[in-house]
Amino acid sequence: MSSQQPTDEPVYADRVYRSSMGFVSGVLLLALTVWLCGDAVLRGSGNTPWIGLAVALCVVPLIVAFTLRPAVFANEDRMRVRNPFRIIELPWAAVDAVRAGYSAEVLAEGSKYQLWSVPVSLRERKKANRQQMRRNAIDRRDPGSSGDPSARGRASASAAATEPMRANADRIVDELQGLAELNAARPGAQGSVRVRWSYEIIAPALIGALLLIVLIATR
């Protein structure tokens, strides 16, 4: 009889990164779909109720896939990327880089995987850059021009404690890149990338689409 030996290292919960705007949009779209399709099912005649059910069967999984489902989970051993139709598990040792250009993505084992839950806003990035430039201009001013040494010390401490302004996507990418660099040598962070297709999303959407085509063709 064997027993598991407890480790001395503490176990932390996964960090979760998801788009709050996408989540809210998904809830609103689901409510709209339920309202429209429910009305068609309850008040429609002929094939209309069946068409409403087929539309719901096709559309609801797609709404969930592109709004509520995307998320990135990160712990000390690996990063798990949940995209609309795939789940990618990436041990930190397999991650080559995490970067954000026009989209956030992770490079691993010669492949590139997009992070759907980390949308890149060029407008937010430009705004953060402008704020950082203004902050740098203020920091370059001589805080001791008034001749008050204590004011100079407080200004220097404040400037040192202030972090650079970053867009949300860039900040998340920096955190993930830091986790990859910090934990790549851990024994639990070894292994290769694993990709799994999310058939629980794909199957009902395809069935609903096929059913909708048949119903429309036979009207």
Express each pLDDT in 139-185 by its tens digit: 666 554 444 445 444 444 444 445 666 778 888 999 999 999 999 99
Where do we find the tokens 């203020």?
Answer: 138
Is the CB of residue 120 less than 8 Å from the CB of residue 127? no
Question: Which pLDDT value is given to residue 6?
Answer: 45
Q: Are 115 and 104 in contact (CB under 8 A)?
A: yes
User: What does the pLDDT look like over 120-143, one tens digit per residue?
Assistant: 877 766 776 666 667 666 666 655
Question: Which phi and psi angles does 206 have, rounded to 5°?
Answer: -70, -40
Q: What is the mean pLDDT of residues 95-109?
A: 92
Model's pTM, two decimal places? 0.76
Question: What is the per-residue pLDDT across 62-86, written as a single tens digit (0 to 9) for each?
Answer: 999 999 999 999 999 999 999 999 9
- What backbone torsions phi and psi does residue 39 show, to the nearest 5 degrees? -65, -40
Matching residue, tokens 């999310």: 198
> For the chain, how many residues are written?
219
Q: What are phi and psi of 6, to 5 degrees?
A: -70, 145
- pLDDT value at position 145? 44
Structure tokens at 70: 């995307």
Domain boundaries, the chain: 15-122+165-217, 123-161
User: Is residue 25 scored above 80 in pLDDT?
Assistant: yes
Q: What span, in angstroms and rounded, lies between the C-alpha atoms of 101 and 96?
A: 16
pLDDT at 61 over 70: yes
The dihedrals phi and psi of 209, each to the nearest 5 degrees, come to -65, -45
Q: How many CB atoms lie within 10 A of CB 183?
A: 20
3-state helix/strand/coil string of 153-197? HHHHHHHHHCCCCCCHHHHHHHHHHHHHHHHCCCHHHCCCCEEEE
pLDDT value at residue 162: 56
Q: Do 107 and 95 touch, CB atoms closer than 8 A?
A: yes
